[in-house]
Chain A
Amino acid sequence: ILNVEQSPQSLHVQEGDSTNFTCSFPSSNFYALHWYRWETAKSPEALFVMTLNGDEKKKGRISATLNTKEGYSYLYIKGSQPEDSATYLCAFIGRAARQLTFGSGTQLTVLP
């Protein structure tokens, strides 16, 4: 059974703060890592697809890094806004089985 862990479980920040959270995954058999944002009452939305060790992806104020050798990825949000409030999920894809194993998510609340 694959173990994908996310921390912290939840986070409250003030508008304008920068924040980051972690996704840990098995370092062996790595194929890809996906990040999703899931707003309440909406569908999970893909943020990043990450594949190479050292990858850094950016979309507006959100960026992510990947370390496949040690098995972790960081998601950063610069200057958080209330609309960033959501649950952020990471999903590991192994080379053998092309299926997503999700972490339990980090629930971010940005207070105005």
Chain B
Amino acid sequence: ETGVTQSPTHLIKTRGQQVTLRCSSQSGHNTVSWYQQALGQGPQFIFQYYREEENGRGNFPPRFSGLQFPNYSSELNVNALELDDSALYLCASSLGLPGPDYEQYFGPGTRLTVT
């Protein structure tokens, strides 16, 4: 167990709708990253929050947005859902920015299906 939880576990949405995915980090972890994993691929970096500010963004459109809260929880919001957004969404937290000193601890993921 990594101590990182995500909700919900599974979700089905219709194209055009909006969705909010939630992540609860380990206590004390000031960095959270979100990833999208499509079938057959490795996790793709969406964005990272450090001390409640966005600190890096991958190649995802602005309809993907996030928030990090002081209580070590965070959200990923996706507007105007498209079929290609169907994927496993992972969050990962760390004590500091990832690198030589801090490994990331992953949650179990939220499986999003867009129909």
Contact = CB atoms under 8 A, between A and B. Distances in A.
Interface residues of A, number: 27
A98 B100 CA distance: 10
A46 interface: yes
B4 A100 contact: no
Interface residues on B, range: 20 to 34
B64 to A, nearest CB: 15
B108 A42 contact: yes
Ranked nearest first, the 3 interchain pairs of A and B with the lowest CB-CB distance are: A102-B42, A46-B103, A98-B97
Given A44-B90, A93-B98, 16 more contacts: A32-B99, A32-B100, A34-B103, A42-B108, A43-B109, A44-B43, A46-B104, A49-B100, A89-B43, A91-B42, A98-B48, A98-B97, A99-B48, A99-B56, A102-B35, A104-B40
Interface of A: 1, 4, 6, 31-32, 34, 36, 41-46, 49, 51, 89, 91, 93, 97-105
